[in-house]
Structure 1
Amino acid sequence: MAGRTIRSSSHRDQHLSQTKEQDQTSDVRDISAERVGRVVASEARESASKPGEFVDARSMASGRSVGSQIDESTFGNNGFLARSKVIHFPQRERERIHTKHRVLTIRIVSTVLAIATVCALVWGLLFSPLLVLDSTQIHIGGTNTWVSDARVKALVTDQAGKSLLLIQSGKLEEQIRALPGVTQAEVTKNYPHGLTVHVQAQVPAAILKADSTMVAVDNKGRILNDVHTAVDGIPVIEVSQIESALKQTSVNQAVQILGSLDENTRKRISTVEAKTRDSITTKLDDNALTIIWGDASKLKLKMAIVTTLLSQPDTLAGATTIDVSAPDRPIIK
C-alpha cells in the first residue's frame, strides 16, 4: 500500500511540474506578444502623420496581396468568393455556334422584313389604287373656242389609271403644247387622285378659205378647227385647196407673219397675198395701205419697223406702201 502511495505521489508531482512549465511558457509568450504590441504601437505612433504633414507612401506598411492568400484555407472568409474556373471547351464551342446561328437568323429575318417593307411601299405607292389618277378628277382650264377642253382632256385621259407618281408632268406638258393652238401648258397633280391642266390657247393666225370651206390654223400652219364664216380680227388667206395649201412654203411663211402681229394690226388687215415664199403681202384699211413683208426671216426687226411707222401717221405722209422685205433698208412710197 505504501509503495503505491509513493508512486502516485511521484506521478502527481511530475504532472504539476509539466503544468507549471506550460504556464510559464504561456506567460512568456504573452509577455513577448505584449512587448511586440507595445513596440508596434510605439512605432505606429511615431510614424503617424500629423494634420497637414506630408506622408511618404513608401514608408507605409503594405498589406498582404491576394495572391499570397489564395492558397490559405481561410481565404474567402473575409468576404471574398473564390473558386476555381473550369472551362468546358466542347460546351463553349456549342454556345459559340448557337450564338452565331442566332445572329445569322436575326440578320436574315431583318433583311427579309426590310425587303418586304420596301416592296409593300412600292406597290402601295405605284401600283395600288392609293394614288391612281381618276378620269373624273381631271380639270382643264384656259381653253377657248379654238382649243377645246375635249381635245386637251382626250390627251390627258390616257394617263387615267396610272399612279400620280408615275405620271411625268414635264412630258405631259410637252405633249399638250404640241396640240394646235396651245402655246403653253402647266400640269399640277392634286393628290391623291386628281390632275389640273392649265393651257394658254392662241387665237388662229389665219383662216384658210377654199371656195366655201374655211379652216382656222395656228402660226405653225396646224389646223385648229373648221369655221363657217369669217371671224373678226382673224386674217383670211384665199387658197385653191386646203390640204395642198398647208404644204406650201408660201402659206406657212404667211401664217408665221400673221401670227406674230399684234391684235390691233390684225384687225386692220383686209387682204393677204401669199403667191410666193418671199412675196408675202398684207393690205390694211380696206386695201389703202400695203405692207410687203417678203418672207418670215428677221421677223422681229420687220415687226418693229412696221409697228413704229403705223404708230406715226405723219411719218407716212400719205404713203401707200411699206416695204420691209429688206429690213436693213426699208422703203416707204
Structure 2
Amino acid sequence: MSGGADTTARRDADRAGPAQDGPVGVPARGPRRPPRRLTALLALLALTVLVGGGTWAVYGSPWFRATTVSVHGGRELTADQIRRAAAVPLGGPLVSVDTGAVEKRLLAALPRIGQVEVTRSWPHTVAVQVTERVASAALESGGKFVEVDRAGVRFATVDRAPAGVPLVQLTPARTASLRYFGTTRLLRSAIAVAADLPDSLRGRATAIRVRSYDGITVELTHGRSVVWGSAQDGARKAVVLSALLTAEPGATHFDVSAPTAPAVSGS
C-alpha cells in the first residue's frame, strides 16, 4: 500500500516540474545589470577619451600641420608673390590658420587681386585661389601706365601700355564743360565707355579720346573710329555698334552718339 503511494507521489512531482529555489510564489531573478549611473559614467568617460584624442590629433599631433601653401589662378602675379603677401603661418595646426585674415592680407597687399578664396586642404595644405582684375582701360601717368578695371578700380602701374587695352586720352578744351564736370568726372566717363565696349571689340580698341562730357571717341585698329558721345546709354550703344560692325564690315567711321539714329560712313 505504501509502495503505491510513493509511486503516485513521484508522478505528481514529475508533472509539477523541477523544484524552484527561493520562497514559493517568487520568480527567479536573472543576471544583475549595472546601475544606470555607472552606465552613464562609463559612456561619459568614453566620450571624453574620444573628444580628447580627436582634439589632440587636430591640434597637437604632427598629422595635421600646415606645411604647404598652394596657389591657383594667378596670371600676372607669380605664386611666390602671392605666398609672400599671404604670409600664412606654417608649422602650426592647420585648423588654427585664420583663412579670413589671409584673404584680407592678400587684398590689401595686391590690388591686382579682385577676388580671393583661402581654404584648408587636409591634411597639410592651405589652398589660395585668386581671380585677378582685368584691365578695360589704361591711363598714362608720368611715363607709366595705370591699369583700370571695369569697375573703375586702378589696380596696377606698369612700364608699358598693356596690349589690347585702350589708352584713355584726355584732351578737353578749356570750356564750360571742363569747368563743370572736371577732369576726374571726364576720366570716369572714359572708363565707363571702356567697360561698355562690346566683346567683339576687345583687343581692337586702341584709344578712348575725351574732349568733353559728350565728346568721347573710340579709336579702333585699321584706322576706324567710333563717335560715342557721352557715357550714357552705353549698353544700348554697344549693341548698336555690334550690329553696325556686322552689317558694314568695310566702314571706317561709326556714330552711335544717338543710338536710335546711328550713322556709318567711309565704306
Q: Can you list the C-alpha shifts for 1:92-123, whole angstroms capped at 9, x where unaligned?
A: xxxxxxx7984412321221221331243245
Summarize the Cα distance change of 1:151–1:116 in structure 2 as closer, same or farther, 3 Å threshold.
same
Q: How does 1:39-78 map to 2 (within 5 A)?
A: none
Question: Relative to structure 2, which stretch is displaced further, 185-194 or 200-209?
Answer: 185-194
Q: CA deviation at 1:292?
A: 0.7
Once the two structures are superposed, the pairs formed by residues 203-282 of structure 1 within 5 Å of their partners are 203-238=134-169, 248-259=184-195, 261=197, 265-274=201-210, 279-282=215-218
User: Which of these two proteins has the greater Rg computed from alpha carbons?
Assistant: 1
- SS of aligned partner of 2:227: strand
Query: CA 1:315/1:179 → structure 2, altered by over 3 Å: closer, same or farther?
Result: same
1:8-87 matches, within 5 Å, as: 82=19, 85-86=22-23
Task: Specify the alignment match of 2:79 in structure 1.
Answer: 149
Q: What is the rounded CA distance, in whole Å, between the counterparts of 2:20 and 2:160 in structure 1? A: 114
Task: Mark the runs of 5 or more structure 1 residues left unpaired by the alignment.
Answer: 1-28, 30-63, 88-98, 241-246
Confirm or deny that 1:313 pairs with 2:244: no
Taking a change above 3 Å as real, the CA distance of residues 123 and 302 of structure 1, as seen in their structure-2 partners, is: farther
Question: 1:290 and 1:232, CA in 2 relative to 1: closer, same or farther beyond 3 A?
Answer: same
In the superposition, relative to structure 1, how do residues 168 and 81 fare at CA in structure 2: closer, same or farther (>3 Å)? same
Corresponding position: 1:121 with 2:54: yes
Structure 1 residues 272 and 107, CA, compared in 2 at 3 Å: closer, same or farther? Answer: same
1:126 CA displacement: 5.9
Determine if contact 1:233/1:263 at 8 Å carries over to the other structure. no
SS at structure 2 position matched to 1:153: helix
Deviations 1:40-65 (A, max 9, x none): xxxxxxxxxxxxxxxxxxxxxxxx8x
Amino acid at match of 1:281: T
Q: Which structure shows the bigger proportion of residues in strand conformation?
A: 2
2:80 and 2:153 map into 1 onto residues whose CA distance is 18
Normalised to the residue count of structure 1, the TM-score between the two structures is: 0.53
Structure 1 residue 141, shift from structure 2 partner: 3.1
Q: Does 1:284 align with 2:220?
A: yes
Q: Deviations over 1:253-276 (max 9, x none)?
A: 422432454677354434323456
Deviations 1:123-175 (A, max 9, x none): 533675433332xx222233223x44345434544475453597769x959x8
Whether the 8 Å CA contact 1:180–1:218 is kept in 2: the answer is no
Residue 278 of structure 1 and its aligned partner are, at CA, apart by 5.3
Q: Tell me how far apart the structure 1 counterparts of residues 189 and 66 of structure 2 sit (CA, whole Å).
A: 41
Residues 228-260 of structure 1: per-residue CA shift (max 9 Å, x gap) = 2333322222469xxxxxx93443342243245
1:209 shift after superposition = 1.1
Alpha carbons 1:250, 1:277 under 8 Å: kept = yes
1:327 aligns with 2:255: no
**Structure 2 CA distance for aligned equivalents of residues 198 and 84 of structure 1:** 78
Q: 1:112 aligns with which of 9, 30, 45?
A: 45
1:132 pairs, out of 61, 65, 73, with 65
Return the letter of the residue paired with 1:221. G
Higher helix share: 1
1:14-71 per-residue CA deviation (whole Å, 9 max, x = no partner) reads xxxxxxxxxxxxxxx9xxxxxxxxxxxxxxxxxxxxxxxxxxxxxxxxxx8xxxx6xx
Q: 1:77 to 1:229 in 2, by over 3 A?
A: closer
Q: CA deviation at 1:309?
A: 1.7
Is the partner of 1:281 in helix, strand or coil?
Answer: strand
* Shift of residue 193, structure 1, vs aligned partner: 0.9
Per-residue deviation, 1:222: 2.4
How far is 1:194 from its partner?
A: 1.8
- The number of aligned residues is 238
Determine what percentage of the aligned residue pairs are the same residue.
18
Cα shift at 1:200: 4.6
Contact 1:270 1:287 (8 Å CA) reproduced: no
DSSP-derived class of the 1:248 partner: helix
